[in-house]
Amino acid sequence: MARRMKEKRSTASGLTLPRRLPRWLIVAVLTLTLLFLGATAAYSAYKSHRRRPPDQIHLAWLQNPATTMTVVWRTYRDDTPSVVEYRLQGATEWQQAVGTHLPSGTNGVLHDVTIEDLTPNTTYEYRVKGDYWNIWSNVATLRTAPLPNTGSFDVVYVADTGLVGRKDGLATGTQQIVDEIAKLNPLLVLAGGDYAYYDRDRRYKPLDQAIDVWFNQMMPIAHQSVMMPTFGNHEALLSENISLWAQRFATPEGFDDHRNYSFDVGNAHFVSIFAIYEQQGLPKATLKWIEDDIKAAKDSGKQWIIPFMHVSAFAEGASHPSNLALRAQLGPLFERTGVKLVLSSHDQAYERTYPLVDVPNAMTPTSTSKTCYTQNDGVTWIKTSPGGKKSNKSEAFSIFKNPTPPAWTAYRNNTMHVFTQLHVEPAGEVRVKTFGVKGDGSPPVVLDAFKYITGTCSSS
């Protein structure tokens, strides 16, 4: 009794408490507290991940575009398996394809899965695995390419996008450009470079965060259309790092560590060319690879060879003039290898040449038509820019140096954001349309339209 009395003490209110709490009680309270804190943290993490579905979903072609599709996305947990479920549109049973993790650059991991043995020219539904046991992306559609000469398809080239909501107000068309291309839902999108403009837009730091934002910004397009890039001076030179960009895209290895590569869709052959300098030309080894690549495509029967790049060989805007070295190198090369259409950007205005031969010397138009060309005509050089973000130099679209266009100009316009659509017909026709977008929600307008055919143009 005396001992028990010792272990008790009186409180100010007169209540009597044990002088020391029993050890079992202390252990129990501590254990319960830790369990509670752990469960709260786990639940909070679970809820936050649940609120963050898989993002940056984009499609690419690394192998045969008619029978395979590569899907890339990001999850926040790095133990989430790389699984895509897919099925023919309208079917009920899912099939699965598995792939690998890649570094995300920021939080979580990228997933890279290639689906194989698909049917050409066919629409599938798919969804990608998200974090936790039953989380998947929304069901979306993907399409395989047609076999040569069996089906038509659409391609869109867009470049110089910037990120939506820039503080300097120059991204006046970015959101609508994304919306309009997503509505068109082409089979393929050629991304022409100058994506995030990290040197002037530092809302998202470091660069990898800005790349995250760009991929999410493009997801309405790229989760349903295959997106194949080329890189611009911004990714390569201006406070950015091309390696950080390149590891986010899935591309064929090509030449010079993915910087130049090519792929076939139907009877068209696309060549991504790494052209980033304002005045400097391409290395000799790159030129040789381009020529060998185009000749091989021609030998295999490809009707249309379509090089795309960032810097323009034909540009009369004051922000970024023509790269004359590039013109001198690629003009003769494209003419002798049978190229008809070249896509580029960089200078923030739309310009399109007549079909030209003898570039860079006489630069003779082979036709005065504005709308129809044949296989006997020369090379048409298209500069499609900007795709959302105006020039920092002019704080507007690029201003033409001379009010009178050069003799080679078939059409030009520096009043709207633009993207160019190619409609490739199996019967031997490519119809080219360039859409202008103001960025105010008003409908896009067709600024320029022409075609190349394998037959003869009618007199109209």
105 lines the binding site for Fe ion (CB under 5 A): no
Regarding 240 and contact with Fe ion (CB under 5 A), the answer is no
Q: Which is nearer to Fe ion, 310 or 433 (CB)?
A: 310
Q: Scanning residues 275 to 314, which ones bind Fe ion (CB under 5 A)? A: none
Backbone angles phi, psi at 287, to 5 degrees: -60, -40
- As a whole number of angstroms, the distance between CA 271 and CA 254 comes to 10
For Fe ion, which is the closer residue by CB, 146 or 232?
232
In the bound state with Fe ion, the residue whose beta carbon lies nearer, of 173 and 232, is: 232
Which residue of 233, 319, 367, 421 would you call a contact of Fe ion, by CB under 5 A? 233
Distance CA 172, CA 166 (A): 9
> Which has the closest alpha carbon to 360: 335, 329, 336, 328?
328
Stretch of 115-123, 179-187, 235-243, 340-348 contacting Fe ion, by CB under 5 A? 340-348
| Strand positions, DSSP E, 230-275 | 261-265, 268-272
Residue from 54, 146, 162, 232 touching Fe ion (CB under 5 A): that is 232
What's the token pair of residue 214? 């760009």
Token pair 């079909």: residue: 355
Residue 392 tokens read as: 């920092």
The residue among 99 and 387 lying less far from Fe ion, judged by its C-beta, is 387
* 194: contact with Fe ion by CB under 5 A: yes
Q: How far apart are CA 65 and CA 144, in angstroms?
A: 6
Kindly identify the residues of this chain, within the stretch 23-82, that bind Fe ion according to CB under 5 A. none
Q: Which is nearer to Fe ion, 195 or 408 (CB)?
A: 195
The answer to whether 433 contacts Fe ion (rule: CB under 5 A) is no
What is the nearest approach in angstroms of Fe ion to the Cβ of residue 229? 13
Give the nearer residue to Fe ion in terms of CB position, either 319 or 353: 319
**346 near Fe ion (CB under 5 A):** yes
Residue 230 or residue 380: which is nearer to Fe ion going by CB? 230
Shortest Cβ 276–Fe ion spacing (Å): 8
If we measure between CA atoms, which residue out of 59, 63, 69 comes closest to residue 263? 63
Size of the site for Fe ion (CB under 5 A): 4
Measured over all CA atoms, what is the biggest interatomic distance in the chain, rounded to whole angstroms?
121
Residue 383 CB, nearest distance to Fe ion (Å)?
11
Least gap, CB of 413 to Fe ion (angstroms): 19
CA–CA gap between residue 42 and residue 50 (Å, rounded): 12
CB of 232 to Fe ion, least distance (A): 4
Query: Among 271, 304, 267, which Cα is nearest to 290's?
Result: 271
Q: Looking at 237-245, 342-350, 357-365, 444-452, which segment touches Fe ion (CB under 5 A)?
A: 342-350
Q: At what angle do helices 284-299 and 324-337 cross, to 10 degrees?
A: 20
Whole-angstrom Cα distance, residue 425 to residue 429?
A: 5
| Helix (H/G/I), strand (E/B), else coil: 351 | strand
Closest distance of CB 259 from Fe ion, Å: 16
Tell me which stretch binds Fe ion (CB under 5 A): 22-30, 106-114, 229-237, 349-357. 229-237
Minimum distance of Fe ion from residue 226's CB (angstroms): 23
Residue 199 and residue 233: Cα distance in Å, rounded?
11
Q: Which one of the spans 208-216, 233-241, 284-292, 448-456 is the region binding Fe ion (CB under 5 A)?
A: 233-241
> Which residues share a beta bridge with 433?
421, 449
Could you tell me where the beta strands, DSSP code E, fall in 286-327? 304-308
What φ, ψ does residue 229 adopt, rounded to 5°? Answer: -100, 160
Find out whether 269 and 262 touch, Cβ atoms under 8 Å. yes
**Which one of the spans 112-120, 345-353, 363-371, 372-380 is the region binding Fe ion (CB under 5 A)?**
345-353
- Cβ closest to Fe ion, residue 224 vs residue 233: 233
Residue whose tokens read 């060989």 = 313
| Shortest Å distance, C-beta 400 to Fe ion | 17
Choose between 199 and 358: whose C-beta lies nearer to Fe ion: 199
Comparing CB distances to Fe ion, the nearer of 94 and 277 is 277
Residues that bind Fe ion (CB under 5 A): 194, 232-233, 346
